[in-house]
Amino acid sequence: DTGVSQDPRHKITKRGQNVTFRCDPISEHNRLYWYRQTLGQGPEFLTYFQNEAQLEKSRLLSDRFSAERPKGSFSTLEIQRTEQGDSAMYLCASSAFAGAPNQPQHFGDGTRLSIL
Amino acid sequence: SQQGEEDPQALSIQEGENATMNCSYKTSINNLQWYRQNSGRGLVHLILIRSNEREKHSGRLRVTLDTSKKSSSLLITASRAADTASYFCATDAWAAGNKLTFGGGTRVLVKP
């Protein structure tokens, strides 16, 4: 399967702990996006990369959140000192951007984070 | 923040019936996309319609876009139990890095 892959699928942790999620985009997709989705709501944008450059961060992304895409391939999203309000599904998506901006984003199955 | 709203929030129909859902948005867009999400899973891309297009078809799906009213509709014809899912519209704009801004979704239940 060559779709977007996210790991882990589920993460349960105690409040105050740090967590890290990984996203492997579709090969050769140079844009990678992170979204957060709470129960019953649509996803909300967090941040995106074009190759290894992080081009935009949402105001939702507090200083406890950091994302990287070191070699322009996989990406990690880290949350430090987790809080109850961080409980959500974290979704990763990728798209091709080679001078053709009308490309759909392809999503992974997400990482569901539960804070105890 | 959400770009707009979807209507209805929930829809229950019998297998074989058509399902129609609407999406409204607030700002200028380049594309509008529809996604399906099964419970606990990621989003599956259904169809993308550009701002200069008015209607698009894909299999049993028909999407319309009215940029003057800032609204779109998704029609699923001859629904099947497997169409049971949440459906989201999302808009993007090139100037904003094509990040997607989603509506709140329509939860569709197709009863066999």
Report the C-alpha gap between A106 and A26 in whole angstroms: 8
Report the C-alpha gap between B3 and A25 in whole angstroms: 25
pLDDT tens digits, residue range A33-48? 999 999 999 999 999 9
* Residue whose C-alpha is closest to residue A75's, from A46, A98, A102: A46
pLDDT of residue A99: 59
pLDDT of residue A49: 94
Q: Minimal Cα distance from B6: which residue of A?
A: A42
Q: Both tokens of residue A108?
A: 């992974």
Q: Give the minimum alpha-carbon distance from B77 to chain A in angstroms, rounded to a whole number.
A: 23
Residue B100 to residue A106, Cβ atoms within 8 A: no
pLDDT of residue B24: 94
Q: Which of B1, B48, B100 lies at the smallest CB-CB distance from A102?
A: B48
Average pLDDT over every residue of A2-24: 96
Q: Which residues of A touch B5 (CB under 8 A)?
A: none
A:B CB pairs within 8 Å:
68
pLDDT of residue A98: 58
Q: Are A79 and A27 in contact (CB under 8 A)?
A: no
**pLDDT of A105 over the 80 cut:** yes
**pLDDT of A1 over the 60 cut:** no
pLDDT in tens, chain B (112 residues): 455 688 899 999 999 999 999 999 998 888 999 999 999 899 999 999 999 999 999 999 999 999 999 999 999 999 999 999 999 999 988 777 788 999 999 999 999 9
pLDDT of residue B59: 97
